[in-house]
């Protein structure tokens, strides 16, 4: 049964990682609903996030390859884009280092996750007015830092990382698909850094839980690829904002459930 529950959580992570509905919030709520936490909380959280980052690398393999090759060849545009990604990652690194205990405690509260889903709804709804205005294909240095601050805020469960960073980028004038690309490239760096910070916890995880962690990760990878395709389609068809209704509904429904149980 442990593997089945891990797979369910992996699918939840994969489907919600790229859709603007907060994968971390859904994991917290699903774990609370099932009364089960595979692998001990944040270790499982990082493992399934890494699986969805593999999905990003596969989906954007051409762009990732061009950046890596360009950087190795010393191309100025590749280095500039890469350094902007680094700048955008710094706020999340600072928050992770300075407030790790506080952040981990929030992952234990379904009330926090449900309430912050309501905030995500308002963030996603704001794209109704920005999705057609942006034309820039790359952020400025200042914009990269601002988008990074949005990513740092999205460390909290219930705040969608993809939704918040893409909404922020579009509000700053970036074109939708360019905003998504920058957001997901940031995600690769941020989650790789989180994995390094939590490497001791991952290595010391109970061996009996490694199987369920692996099962959940594979489920997250497969479902994540499907969700990533859907995410890009939503941007192209300018229907991104409709997920605000889902975030509001899910948040209110779970807060009601918590109040009544």
pLDDT for 227-261, tens place per residue? 888 888 888 888 888 999 999 999 999 999 988 87
Residue 197 has which token pair?
């910070």
Cβ–Cβ under 8 Å, residues 211 and 38: no
- Identify the DSSP state of 140: -
Residue 201: pLDDT band by 50, 70, 90 thresholds?
A: low
The Cα–Cα gap between 32 and 207 comes to: 24
Residue 181's pLDDT band, with cuts at 50, 70 and 90, is very high
Banded pLDDT at 97 (limits 50, 70, 90): confident
Range in 50-54, 146-150, 209-213 the model is least confident about: 209-213
Helix (H) or strand (E) run with residue 133 in it: none
pTM of the model: 0.84
The model's pLDDT over 162-175, given as tens digits with 9 standing for 90+, comes to 899 999 999 999 99
Query: Which residues have a Cβ under 8 Å from the Cβ of 253 and sit 6 or more positions away?
Result: none
User: What is residue 252's predicted lDDT score, i.e. its pLDDT?
Assistant: 95
216 versus 181: the higher-pLDDT residue is: 181
The answer to which of 47-61, 95-109, 128-142, 194-208 has the lowest mean pLDDT is 194-208
Asked if residue 150 has pLDDT above 90, the reply is: yes
Q: Is a pLDDT exceeding 60 seen at residue 40?
A: no
Token output for 38: 């595979």
Round to whole Å and give the CA distance between 138 and 143: 9
Question: Residue 1: what pLDDT?
Answer: 44
196 or 144: whose pLDDT is higher?
Answer: 144
**Per residue, what are the HEC states of 44-68?**
HHHHHHHHHHHHHHHHCHHHHHHHH
| Greater model confidence, 112 or 1 | 112
The pLDDT of 175-181, averaged and rounded, is 92
- Measured N-to-C along each axis, helices 23-34 and 42-59 cross at an angle, to the nearest 10 degrees, of 140
Indicate the average pLDDT of the chain: 85
Measured CA to CA in angstroms, residue 25 lies from 3, 132, 250 at distances of: 21, 28, 10
């Amino acid at each position: 049964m442990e593997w089945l529950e891990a797979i369910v959580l992996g699918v939840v992570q994969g489907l919600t990682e790229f859709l603007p509905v907060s994968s971390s919030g859904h994991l917290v709520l699903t774990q609370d609903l099932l009364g089960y936490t595979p692998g001990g909380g944040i270790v499982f959280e990082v493992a399934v996030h890494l699986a969805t980052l593999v999905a990003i690398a596969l989906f954007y393999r051409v762009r990732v390859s061009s950046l890596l090759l360009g950087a190795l060849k010393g191309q100025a545009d590749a280095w500039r884009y890469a350094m902007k990604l680094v700048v955008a990652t710094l706020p999340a690194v600072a928050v992770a280092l300075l407030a790790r205990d506080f952040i981990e405690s929030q992952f234990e509260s379904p009330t926090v996750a449900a309430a912050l889903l309501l905030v995500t709804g308002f963030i996603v709804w704001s794209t109704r007015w920005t999705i057609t205005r942006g034309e820039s294909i790359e952020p400025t240095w200042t914009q990269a830092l601002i988008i990074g601050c949005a990513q740092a805020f999205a460390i909290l469960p219930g705040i969608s990382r993809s939704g918040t960073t893409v909404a922020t980028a579009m509000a700053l004038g970036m074109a939708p698909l360019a905003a998504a690309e920058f957001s997901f490239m940031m995600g690769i760096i941020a989650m790789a850094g989180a994995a390094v910070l939590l490497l001791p916890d991952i290595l010391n995880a109970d061996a009996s839980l490694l199987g369920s962690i692996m099962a959940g990760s594979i489920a997250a990878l497969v479902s994540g690829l499907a969700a990533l395709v859907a995410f890009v389609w939503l941007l192209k068809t300018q229907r991104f904002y409709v997920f605000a209704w889902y975030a509001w509904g899910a948040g209110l429904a779970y807060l009601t459930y918590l109040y009544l149980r």
